[in-house]
């Protein structure tokens, strides 16, 4: 087997680029849904009568709210630890979600940008 042709490399690169842009779009959409108060979490979907219950699918005893998902769910413990570590490095010691999730026009500079780059 020889080296891949230029066309094969080009196809691989395009697929990777499309995949990365799709992931970026999905992440941006997820952050927007969180900030607008319309996450695709069980508690919200249950309130809209689109989901049978409001419990976290991993905990099954706790309501899957934005706060639970971002800060407390044991399923994402390593992510929570990384988030707290990065926030600590930015001298943010108390984590109160509303300032991080409210629209940019009402957010003090730095806080939202720091949080969104961490998520």
Pair 67, 39: CB distance under 8 Å: no
**pLDDT given at position 46:** 94
Question: pLDDT tens digits, residue range 48-86?
Answer: 999 999 999 999 999 999 889 988 899 999 998 998 888
| In the block, residue with structure tokens 């069980």 | 42
pTM to 2 decimal places = 0.61
Residue ranges covered by each domain of the chain: 13-90
Alpha carbon distance 101, 69 (integer Å): 14
Least confidently predicted of 9-18, 24-33, 52-61: 9-18
Residue 17's pLDDT is 56
- Tell me which residue has tokens 């999730």: 101
Determine the Cα angle at 85 with ends 83 and 86, to 5°: 65
Q: Which residue has the tokens 């720091």?
A: 114
Q: pLDDT at position 114, please?
A: 45
Q: Are 65 and 34 in contact (CB under 8 A)?
A: no
């Amino acid at each position: 087997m020889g080296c891949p042709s230029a066309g094969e490399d080009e196809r691989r690169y395009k697929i990777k680029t499309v995949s990365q842009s799709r992931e970026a779009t999905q992440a941006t959409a997820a952050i927007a849904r969180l900030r607008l108060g319309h996450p695709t979490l069980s508690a919200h979907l249950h309130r809209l009568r689109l989901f049978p219950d409001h419990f976290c699918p991993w905990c099954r005893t706790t309501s899957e709210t934005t706060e639970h998902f971002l800060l407390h769910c044991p399923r994402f413990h390593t992510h929570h630890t990384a988030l707290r570590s990065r926030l600590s490095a930015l001298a943010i010691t108390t984590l109160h979600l509303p300032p991080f999730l409210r629209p940019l026009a009402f957010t003090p500079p730095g806080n939202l940008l720091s949080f969104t780059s961490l998520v």
